[in-house]
Structure 1
Amino acid sequence: MFYKETHPNDEIILNTLSELVPKDHLLRKIDKSIDFNFIYEITSPYYSHTNGRNSLDPVVLFKLVFLKDIYGIKSMRETIKRVETDVAFRWFLNLPFSKPTPHYSTFSQNYIRRFQGTSVFEDIFNTIVHQAISHHLISGTALFTDSTHIKANANKNKFRNAVIEVVQERKRDLENEINAEREAIGKKPFHYTDKTISKTIKESTTDKESGYYHRDNKEKGFMYLDHRSVDGKHNFIVDCFMAQVRLHLDFCINSVIIFIMYPKFSMQIFCLKINAFINFLLMYR
């Protein structure tokens, strides 16, 4: 028999947020594995405890960023729009439908007025990584490292030519090996010195910290390098380093080796200077 539903959106539903979120939802698994309450202790020094109106819960503030990144949402404005209608998002944020969503500019204003220039983001990142290690989600036995270019907010046609002095790179391991061989046969070691050369670069007049990137068949412009190291067990990002395009991957990744501090691990590195990196790894094996 033909039937047409009328006004189904007017139905009154008596359910809790928890009942509406599927038991196997990704956010349930994240909430079970990661305790975000540590954020209160990290952010507490940056809030007033004696006067002023109540702020947005710091855990909610940083969970918004977490949701934005894990679901690949391009902006905080779009993230807030998703929170308005997504039951799982509201459950994860402990934000019932009876409460309004925060304004999309709340995070940016908190960053500008409270957290800019602090170690809050790095502390939160490191704590979550350590929690993942304690839950055996990170093994530390295989780390994969690479970098990608991120566009700077700078016009590629607005720049000035700057002359900088750089020290020409030396192969110190090779120099030491040569001198060791010479001393072994009774000859005097060579005396190597740093050689400084002048280099002309394009410097953005908008963002001086960015670097000009140019390679064949690649987009040219002012960019940054986003270096990331991923643990091979469950693809957790264990280290993130933003740098100028002039810095090489082998320079930027040293921090992750010291950070993990496992007795044995292997690393696959997409890097031209692999020999120097192998020697560095042997120092920390």
Structure 2
Amino acid sequence: MMPDLPNMPPSPYAALYDLLIPADDELRLIHDLVPFDFITELLEDTYCHDNGRMAVHPVRMFKYLFLKAHSNLSDVDLVRRAKTDLAYKYFLDLAPEDDVINPSSLTKFRRQRMDDDELLDKLIGHTVEVAKGMGLLKGRTLIVDATHSRARYGQKPIGKAIIEEAKGLRHACYKETKNAKGRFPEKVDESDIDQLLSYALAVAETVESKMPELMAREHIRDRMNRVREF
């Protein structure tokens, strides 16, 4: 079932938002100025209205995915950050003490509510255009993820996005240790998406199995998680 549209619940800690989130914070401005009710209208037919378990409202789920695009995070890293980032919680209409979703909920939401592969791209694209029209996203480029394939919104094809993520992970490892040289798999035909996907996952597997000490580095883990979502 679809719950009521989420609003910020009463909280004894709500004052933290005004104390710690600047009035000109980008996410705060988008939350306050950009309407998200169009999400409800577009997705309400995908929910049963009279039975079933109460679901997280689609507006909040979409906001999670917008944050994912905004910050270029994997599902796991997005949820981990949302637990402690007050700007994220404010954007999601959560009280500071509220819990966040399980990362698997994002996969389920994409599969059950976004059956059109291009729908998420269009929804985020619409939000981006509205925000840019208000001067809230000046020059920002977002990563859009509709089917666990990643592409630079409006600019970059999936193949190039895969190459850049795998390359970024490799180079991050090179900076951390000289032992990374010569350990990664050979590069593949960049015109073959399947080969690129296999290569990117092999790069991640190489880091985990042959350079496990690097997994203690947060920026390495973040890149690993993004690569594994392809």
Equivalents in 2 of 1:14, 1:129: separation in Å?
30
Amino acid aligned to 1:222: L
Amino acid aligned to 1:97: P
Report the secondary structure of 1:222's partner residue.
Answer: helix
Partner of 2:63: 63
- Of 190, 210, 214, which aligns to 1:213? 190
Partner of 2:103: 104
Equivalents in 2 of 1:27, 1:71: separation in Å?
11
Q: CA deviation at 1:212?
A: 4.3
Do 1:42 and 1:120's aligned partners in 2 also have CA atoms closer than 8 Å? no
Amino acid aligned to 2:111: I
Report the secondary structure of 2:94's partner residue.
Answer: coil
- Of 140, 145, 149, which aligns to 2:160? 149
Q: CA deviation at 1:36?
A: 1.4
Q: Deviations over 1:143-198 (max 9, x none)?
A: x956561339xxxxxxxxxxxxxxxxxxxxxxxxxxxxxxxxxxxxxxxxxxxxxx
Q: CA deviation at 1:95?
A: 0.9
Aligned residue pair count: 144
Partner of 2:25: 25
With over 3 angstroms needed to count, the CA separation of the structure-2 counterparts of 1:90 and 1:146, relative to structure 1, is: closer
- Of 214, 222, 230, which aligns to 2:196? 222
Partner of 1:191: none
Alignment of 1:160-239 (within 5 A): 212-213=189-190, 221-222=195-196
Report the secondary structure of 1:94's partner residue.
Answer: coil
Do 2:79 and 2:103's aligned partners in 1 also have CA atoms closer than 8 Å? yes
Q: CA deviation at 1:80?
A: 0.9
Partner of 2:44: 44
Equivalents in 1 of 2:56, 2:98: separation in Å?
12
Amino acid aligned to 2:81: R
Amino acid aligned to 2:107: S
Amino acid aligned to 2:66: F
Report the secondary structure of 1:105's partner residue.
Answer: helix
Q: Deviations over 1:69-121 (max 9, x none)?
A: 21232x11111111111111111101113432111110101222332236531
Partner of 2:3: none
Q: Deviations over 1:12-70 (max 9, x none)?
A: x8553432322121212222442112111111111111111110111111111111221
Q: Which runs of 5+ in 2 are unaligned?
A: 1-11, 138-153, 164-187, 198-230
Larger relative contact order (Cα-Cα within 8 Å, sequence gap ≥ 6): 2
Q: Deviations over 1:220-254 (max 9, x none)?
A: 9436xxxxxxxxxxxxxxxxxxxxxxxxxxxxxxx
Report whether the alignment pairs 1:92 with 2:66: no
Equivalents in 2 of 1:114, 1:47: separation in Å?
8
With over 3 angstroms needed to count, the CA separation of the structure-2 counterparts of 1:129 and 1:88, relative to structure 1, is: closer
